[in-house]
Structure 1
Amino acid sequence: MEHEIKHHLTDDVLMGYAAGTLPEAFNLMVATHVSLCDTCRARAESFDALGGEVMAQTPGNDVAMDTDSFAATMSLIAGGAPDEIRMPRDAGSILPGPLQDYVGGGVDAVKWRSVGMGVKQAILPTSRDASARLLFIPAGAAMPDHGHKGTEMTMVLQGAFQDEDDYFARGDVEIADSDLHHTPVADIHEDCICLAVTDAPLEFQGLLPKIAQRFARI
């Protein structure tokens, strides 16, 4: 039975995605979530349409065009899109399409690195203004207690986790800021795999997590 997504992206995030003002890592989060969530996908499309209408109605956007602009555009369309090398997507993977493009395939293609206590991560290549990583948390295991200097978004891809805020399963997104201090614990029934994006380092309390943080780049 498919899980009903209960924790969605905010309108501010979706509007930032439509306007192109989010860091690459956060764009990846939005693209991954809306590929599973009909509700947020519809809202994102409405913000796209709204942005287009605002641009069309804004004075000063009328630009003189060359007389052959239409013919040149049609010629480009007739020529087809440029060749693009893309990895084939695995329709049965727990990784939605946008994530598969970054990983280069499904979960089997993820280059995991251990960060201790059975937890693994794979840092994804994005711009430096924010980071994106896949996290593997064994069933029943807990992430270290931590707070946030900036914004952290975590989307569940497999399994589930629970913290002081709520319970999050596949497709759910938890948005954490400096007001949230929590200890996420993976549901005991299945290993948990998440996509996590951050725009600032996390704040760990314990000595060992602080030491590991330097090497894990969390």
Structure 2
Amino acid sequence: MTLHVQHHISDELLLDYATGNLAEGWSIAVATHLALCPACRDRLSFMEHTGGQLLEATEVTDKEVSPADSWAAMKAKMAAQGSVRTPAAKPVAAPRDLPILPEPLRSYLGGDIHDLKWRALGRGAYHIPIKTGDKESQVRLLKIPAGKPVPEHSHGGRELTLVLKGAFTDGATVFKRGDIEEADETLTHQPVATPDDDCICLAVTDAPLKFKSLLVRLVQPVLGI
């Protein structure tokens, strides 16, 4: 089986990860995506190398440099070397005997998919909340039955969804293993698991989802989503 990752982490999010400015929950999602995506590992390596060069070339002054200025300098440096856009993903060999859950996620959950104890969400869906040390994000593993939709919702903040098994569609876009979707307050959507297999995803949010269905909103505090 060959893995082709098509949907990647944004430059801004990857830079925050590289500089240690992400809370633990977001970092879990980014690190797990990086374990599956050699293209983003290459981007991270390039950012770290470029950042080191910028640091060495920067004269020490009394003027404080803002994060925005640092990011602008980083993008200018990357543009000069033709590396601003996301590079094409390289196929990754993924033998069937490899774990479904890569590190570091597997250690957070204490095992691979077949070792886990799922909690029912209703309508055949399941989840596993993942404890972290930060109070900014909520992290959970989701299992959506093949061919079934997630209730339509918008967002009170940012949401990262990383596919680990199976796939889902969001409109005309398909997200498969290794793909990551980044959503914010501007997006209202209803992802649907593809009919060939259950979809297992890692989801990270920083605010409760805003569901369209009244019934889902009523049970939302109990489910903690």
Aligned amino acid, residue 96 of structure 1: P
SS of alignment partner, residue 3 of structure 2: coil
SS of alignment partner, residue 141 of structure 1: coil
Say if 2:90 is the partner of 1:99: no
Aligned residues: 189
Q: TM-score, normalised by structure 2?
A: 0.79
Runs of 5+ consecutive residues of structure 2 not aligned to the other structure:
62-96
Q: Does the CA contact (< 8 Å) of 1:19 and 1:51 recur in 2?
A: no
What is the CA–CA distance in structure 2 between the aligned matches of 1:95 and 1:194, rounded to whole Å? 10
Aligned amino acid, residue 127 of structure 2: Q
1:150 aligned partner: 157
Q: TM-score, normalised by structure 1?
A: 0.82
2:31 aligned partner: 31
1:108 aligned partner: 114
1:118 aligned partner: 124
1:22 aligned partner: 22
Q: Does the CA contact (< 8 Å) of 1:131 and 1:199 recur in 2?
A: yes
Deviation, structure 1 residue 165: 5.4
Moved more, 165-174 or 113-122: 165-174
What is the CA–CA distance in structure 2 between the aligned matches of 1:190 and 1:28, rounded to whole Å? 24
Say if 2:210 is the partner of 1:203: yes
The one of 147, 160, 164 equivalent to 1:140 is: 147
2:201 aligned partner: 194
Deviation, structure 1 residue 16: 0.3
Per-residue displacement from partner, 1:9-48 (whole Å, max 9, x unpaired)? 0000100000111111110111000111011111111122
What is the CA–CA distance in structure 2 between the aligned matches of 1:48 and 1:201, rounded to whole Å? 33
Runs of 5+ consecutive residues of structure 1 not aligned to the other structure:
62-90
Deviation, structure 1 residue 3: 3.4
SS of alignment partner, residue 100 of structure 2: coil
Percent identity between the two aligned chains? 44
Q: Does the CA contact (< 8 Å) of 1:115 and 1:212 recur in 2?
A: no
Aligned amino acid, residue 192 of structure 1: C
Deviation, structure 1 residue 212: 2.2
What is the CA–CA distance in structure 1 between the aligned matches of 2:129 and 2:172, rounded to whole Å? 25
Aligned amino acid, residue 172 of structure 1: D
SS of alignment partner, residue 143 of structure 1: coil
